[in-house]
A and B are shown apart, each in its own frame.
Chain A
């Protein structure tokens, strides 16, 4: 039988894509927790039997690419020969799953007529697995503090659920009902994926399917190599620093990246980054590969749904035992370095292609979490949300204002209405953050501000690791304003932080989350004054910044440009 025609290949490809999308819908419609169904703190995909990803439906993008490695290690541990139809495995050993232990990877083999033809894989955040602190951890010192570790366990064996394991999960969680509810959603979504791919094999026959899979992956590789050929060749380096490891609060952590582009390879080398950290900022190697892939994909084939073929030209180098390649049992809980890394890759490559790469975004996901016992129900509550940031400006355009960070393009924020319904707090303020975008000929996008007013005793966490280095501007554009989290603002004990964990908040306490703005691109004095006026009218830029940074004078009474004064300002500093 010959190779399937291109139309059949596309039909099969789209069936894979649509099956992944259906898994996502299934998961979101049946999960119990806003972290899954609102924020989309998950990543899922469908794989062939050699662990090559064929389609995905990214929530948190960094998850999906880490799943490749997690799936492979899971099957290695269990043994391919021990897989049966109806199996479902759970993996939360971070050095395999490529995320922290509360991001549990579920995988299931797909069989067609007793032959293994692929896998589904879903990673999602479980709200509690008995880790040392309820909610989240910022200061673990080994993996054993980080929750129940599941080393590729068969939760289902040939379709039969191991009740011992279910009991174990229940008893090791502070919020068992929600964990089990979300787990069932996850399983159900895996089953949906299995069913669709088995249908596909049934419809087209196994031979056609297998050949189509090769064609899909080869096509992915081809377009990736095509784009690679358009990139400038060379080697460039860049650095950035994450705030701290959660224990040694005064030591910023170096992320050093050397990017080499050749005709057929894209090499990302993290050698020289921070040595392993005492606190939980170490990255599982699978995640380092994943986020490097995210940077690579964004540069080469941002407009195609991802598959394993796209990544064939990518090579990632790490030093085992450094922060970007965690060795057991080093703690990995706050794997925030992984959120910063894609932009360090962009920063390096911008030296070779300044017109194609944007300035730095707000640079983090600005996560805030609240938890406690809800006064109305007497039950534990736990809500979290990530926050949008400003994007970096680039040649020809301003950065986007207030959109989700590029590590989580499939994620959403948790809406005010939902957050207030679920937790005993109110959102007093949610607005764009004036002047947070870096001034430039093209302005960096602004971040946002959200203010939480607690109405009952609770705990709060903020997880942000980029508050000390500013989002860089490019080409003479100015830096964006780094984000921060402020607790008890306007009081004697006001504190401005990145990450924080306050265990004894009282009714009336306030936390303000201010996400970072993107860097500007090009000299701000060259920005069209009319655009600056609009920014001022829209409250993105203050009158002072318009004058100081952009050299644009605006009459505050009439809100019109004072042309004479503007020319004078721009000449005066025009040097």
Chain B
């Protein structure tokens, strides 16, 4: 028997693709039946299909950091409930953050998959629930323990053998400020889990248990093999890097250190967060499953970015995070703003760049630049709540500019919430939405630019900004310059104009909040950039005439919009 478990590669690929397609179908099901733009527009979810040992076989990432965290959440859920207590038709909810690996409003739904009467795997979907009675409506920026953060569900069986526990269903409704919408979204989540179950059961019934199990091993081993092949190509060594998140939401003057030490050997990739900031009073602590997840995200990006993820890909990865530090929350430490996890993948890249400067891009805008609004809609008298993340500039790298304005690498599967949707759902208008000139770090390869979006409220409302990277600039590389850091401006152009990262504000009708996402860092000396490309950037409004001159040493005649080659040569010499 060959290493393919008696299976021909074609059958394995058919099974693999069936699983991938089942995950994709779960995603479609979820998006088409959910009630909230946060799910169906922004895709604030992560889902996957697992085998019986909680090993991920296929995923459809929305918010990428969710999916890997789900591995840990599923494992803890099954441990708590007991594998032997799983029945066909069960569906479990987990929002205990130290297990679910996200804050309590990101609820993990898990269902066991049975075929031929045997447990063969699980579905898992995590998605943002709009309200579970957390201390503040909308979101929390300053919780001090987990009990302020909403209803905690420890692997609760919402369905037991297919029968809904009406008591728990009632409890969910009564503990939410937006019961109809959360129940609507929950039903979408359940329905998507059921779709995944059905497809995998079909698959196993078609190919038989043995063949399915063999294929699973083959898929995972293949994932591992590919990863190891790429790992072998990486230089071996140990490198360290740091970055700083703005604050913990309570003490606004203390920045939070994220320190990583990455070691690459022939067969291991070790990400060690020891020495990062101690546990914070405010909610910036990370569930360890999420730390493992975001570390895995960077690892996957470096090794096998071009193939769909499965648990085999992560076998060479080892993550170290001492309990009680910011990267490993211990109950009941608050974890609501898990933003350290969004910054973490780029700190890993920063460390690695020392060993492989030509493979790693400069830093991106570095955050998801989230804005949320909520209030009572004047036309319906009902509560409204809308949010959107914003695209950032990506870091430039050897051979290419950074992408302008795409979703941050922690959420490659996410989208922004379109202007038309936001304006339809809520009493505000978007006055400006555009690329943010000069926000990309100058370089031989230019960092991508961020964006600016301005919201004008038409009715008194609450708004909150959720950004934790407004103080440390996205770094350039190889002589490229840093990018302009992102930030949020409340009441721009007025006496009380205020620059912020993450805070709540009460807005009156007519007032404005402006979200400016960060640009990416540049790569290489900007004076070496082809002046014609700089001219293009100026014409396209990505770069100003002043920056062209000052940073790139390129003189452009503003009348004719053409290069002044002599002046340029002089500037550059």
A binds B: yes
Question: Residues of A with Cβ closer than 8 Å to B?
Answer: 93, 128, 130-132, 134, 142, 144-145, 148-154, 162, 164-165, 167-168, 170-174, 329
List 17 additional contacts besides A144-B134, A167-B156; criterion CB under 8 Å: A128-B147, A130-B152, A142-B177, A144-B135, A144-B176, A148-B151, A149-B171, A149-B175, A151-B174, A152-B170, A153-B167, A164-B156, A164-B168, A168-B156, A171-B152, A172-B152, A173-B147
**B170/A151 in contact, CB under 8 A:** yes
B: residues with CB less than 8 A from A are 96, 131, 133-135, 137, 145, 147-148, 151-157, 165, 167-168, 170-171, 173-177, 332
Check if B167 sits within 8 Å of A167, measured CB to CB.
no
Whether A153 pairs with B171 at a CB distance below 8 angstroms is: yes
The residues of A that contact B167 with a CB separation of less than 8 Å are 153-154, 162, 164-165
CB-contact partner of A130 in B147, B154, B171, B176, under 8 A: B147
Shortest C-beta distance, B162 to chain A (Å), equals 15
Instruction: List residues of chain B with CB within 8 A of the CB of A145.
Output: 133, 135
- With both beta carbons as reference points, the residue of chain B lying nearest to A144 in the complex is identified as B133
A–B complex contacts, Cβ < 8 Å, 5 sampled: A132-B135, A142-B177, A172-B147, A172-B152, A329-B177
Cross-chain contact A93 with B147 (CB below 8 angstroms): no
- Which residues on the A side are within 8 Å of B176 (C-beta)? 144
Closest B residue to A328 by beta carbon equals B174
A162-B165, A162-B167 known; A171-B175 Cβ under 8 A: no
Chain B residues with CB under 8 Å of A150's CB are 171, 174
Q: Which residue of B lies closest to A82 (CB)?
A: B166
Asked, given contacts A132-B135, A149-B174, whether A168 binds B168 with beta carbons under 8 Å apart, the answer is yes
Query: For B137, B147, B151, B175, which residue has the most chain A Cβ atoms within 10 angstroms?
Result: B147
CA distance A150 to B168 in the complex (A): 9
Q: Across chains A and B, which 5 residue pairs bring their CB atoms closest together, nearest first? A: A144-B133, A130-B147, A132-B135, A151-B174, A171-B154
Q: Which of B96, B137, B145, B174 lies in contact with A171, CB distance below 8 A?
A: B96
Given A144-B175, A144-B177, A162-B167; A167-B147 close (CB under 8 Å): no
Given contacts A142-B177, A144-B175, contact A174 B147 (CB under 8 A): yes
Q: Which residues of A contact B170 (CB under 8 A)?
A: 151-153
What is the minimal beta-carbon distance from B181 to any residue of chain A, in angstroms?
15
Specify which of A164, A170, A174 lies most central, judged by the most chain B CB atoms within 10 Å of its CB.
A164
User: How many Cβ-Cβ contacts under 8 Å join chain A to chain B?
Assistant: 75
Contacts of B173 in A (CB 8 A): 151
What does DSSP make chain A's interface, helix, strand, loop or mixed?
Answer: loop
Question: How far is B147's CA from A128's CA once the two chains are assembled, in angstroms?
Answer: 10
CA of A154 to CA of B176, assembled, Å: 19
By a CB distance below 8 angstroms, the chain B residues around A134 are: 145, 147
Residues of chain A within 8 A (CB-CB) of B157 are 164
Shortest distance in angstroms between B249's beta carbon and chain A's nearest beta carbon?
15
A170 to B96, CA, bound (A): 12
Residues of B within 8 A of A128 (CB): 147
What A residues does B133 contact at CB under 8 A? 144-145, 149
Question: In chain A, what residue has the closest Cβ to B146?
Answer: A130
Which of A142, A149, A165, A173 has the most chain B CB atoms inside 10 A of its CB? A149
Chain B residue nearest to A93 (CB atoms) is: B174
Smallest beta-carbon distance B122→chain A, Å: 18
- Assuming the contacts A153-B167, A162-B165, A165-B168, asked whether A171 and B153 have C-beta atoms less than 8 A apart, the reply is yes
CA distance A168 to B152 in the complex (A): 7
Partner of B153, one of A152, A153, A168: A168
**In the assembled complex, how far is the CB of residue A521 from the closest CB belonging to chain B, in whole angstroms?**
47
Contact of A174 among B145, B153, B174 (CB under 8 A): B145
Contacts of A144 in B (CB 8 A): 131, 133-135, 137, 175-177
Q: How far is the CA of A153 from the CA of B173 in the complex (A)?
A: 12
What is the minimal beta-carbon distance from B267 to any residue of chain A, in angstroms? 39
Q: Output the nearest chain B residue to A143 by Cβ-Cβ distance.
A: B133
Q: Which residues of B contact A164 (CB under 8 A)?
A: 156-157, 165, 167-168
Task: Determine the chain A residues whose CB is within 8 A of the CB of B137 once the complex forms.
Answer: 142, 144
- Are A148 and B156 within 8 A (Cβ)? no
Count chain B CB atoms within 10 A of each CB in A132, A149, A150, A174 and give the residue with the most: A132
Cα separation A298 to B96 with both chains bound (whole Å) = 48
Residues on the B chain within 8 Å of A174, using CB: 145, 147, 332
Residue of B nearest to A90 (CB): B167
The closest CB in chain B to the CB of A172 belongs to B152
Q: Which residues of B contact A172 (CB under 8 A)?
A: 147, 151-152
State in angstroms the CA–CA spacing of A144 and B147 once bound together: 12
- Once the chains are docked, how many angstroms separate the CA of A167 from the CA of B92? 13
Within the assembled complex, what's the spacing in Å between the Cα atoms of A134 and B165? 30
CA distance A130 to B135 in the complex (A): 10
Q: How far is the CA of A167 from the CA of B95 in the complex (A)?
A: 13
Chain A, residue nearest B143 (CB): A132
**Which residue from chain A places its CB closest to the CB of B134 in the assembled complex?**
A144
Complex Cα–Cα for A177 and B151 (A): 18
Give min CB distance, B111 to chain A, whole Å: 15
State the Cβ distance, A76 to closest chain B Cβ, in Å.
Answer: 13
How many angstroms between the C-alpha atoms of A128 and B177 in the bound complex?
21
A164 vs B176: C-alpha distance when bound (angstroms)? 19
* A142 to B174 Cα, complex, angstroms: 13
* C-alpha spacing A514/B428, complex, angstroms: 52
Contacts of A162 in B (CB 8 A): 165, 167
Across the interface, name the chain B residue whose C-beta is closest to A146.
B133
Shortest distance between the CB of A318 and any CB in chain B (Å)? 23
Contact A151 B145 (CB under 8 A): no
User: Are A148 and B135 CB-contacts (below 8 A) given A130-B152, A171-B153, A171-B154?
Assistant: no
- Given A132-B135, A144-B177, A164-B157, A151–B147 Cβ distance below 8 Å? no
Q: How far is the CA of A164 from the CA of B135 in the complex (A)?
A: 23
With a cutoff of 8 Å between Cβ atoms, the chain B residues found around residue A152 in the complex are 170
Chain A residues lying within 8 Å of B168, measured Cβ to Cβ, are: 164-165, 168
Report the Cα distance A162→B166, complex, angstroms.
Answer: 11
Instruction: Give the complex CA separation of A132 and B148 in angstroms.
Output: 5
CA distance A418 to B469 in the complex (A): 51
Q: Enumerate chain B residues within 8 angstroms of A132, measured Cβ to Cβ.
A: 135, 147-148
B103 smallest CB distance to A (angstroms): 15
**With the chains together, A16 CA to B535 CA distance in Å?**
93
Quote the shortest CB–CB distance from B95 to chain A (angstroms). Answer: 9
Q: How far is the CA of A465 from the CA of B173 in the complex (A)?
A: 33
Measured CA separation A83–B151 after assembly (Å): 27
- CA separation between A174 and B177, bound complex, in Å? 22
- Chain A proximity of B329: nearest CB distance (Å): 15
Residue among B133, B151, B153, B156 with the most chain A CB within 10 A? B133
* A134, A142, A154, A167 interface centre (most CB from chain B within 10 Å): A167
Residues of B within 8 A of A167 (CB): 154-156
By a CB distance below 8 angstroms, the chain A residues around B145 are: 134, 174
Chain A nearest CB from B164 CB (Å) reads 12
Q: Point out which of B131, B153, B170 has the most chain A C-beta atoms below 10 A from its C-beta.
A: B170
Residue of B whose beta carbon sits closest to that of A152: B170
Chain A residue at minimum C-beta to C-beta distance from B154: A171
Complex: how many Å from CA A545 to CA B21? 89
Q: Point out which of A145, A170, A172 has the most chain B C-beta atoms below 10 A from its C-beta.
A: A172
> What is the chain A residue whose CB lies nearest that of B332?
A174
Closest to B96 in A: A171
B173: nearest chain-A partner, CB-CB: A151
Asked whether, in the complex, the Cβ of A168 is within 8 Å of the Cβ of B174, the reply is no
The answer to whether B177 touches A168 (Cβ under 8 A) is no
Q: Please indicate the chain A residues that have their CB under 8 angstroms from the CB of B177 in the complex.
A: 142, 144, 329
Q: Most chain-A CB neighbours within 10 Å: which of B134, B151, B153, B174?
A: B174
B333 CB to closest chain A CB (Å) equals 13
Is the pair B135, A168 in contact by a Cβ cutoff of 8 Å? Answer: no
Give Cα distance in the complex from A153 to B175, angstroms: 13
Separation in Å of the B229 CB from the closest CB of chain A? 44
> How far does the alpha carbon of A144 sit from the alpha carbon of B153 in the complex, in Å?
16
A170 to B152, CA, bound (A): 9
Whether A148 pairs with B175 at a CB distance below 8 angstroms is yes
Alpha-carbon distance between A151 and B171 when the two chains are bound, in angstroms: 6
Across the interface, name the chain A residue whose C-beta is closest to B177.
A144
Min CB–CB distance B82 → chain A (angstroms): 11
User: In this complex, which of B134, B152, B167, B170 has the most chain A Cβ atoms within 10 angstroms of its Cβ?
Assistant: B167
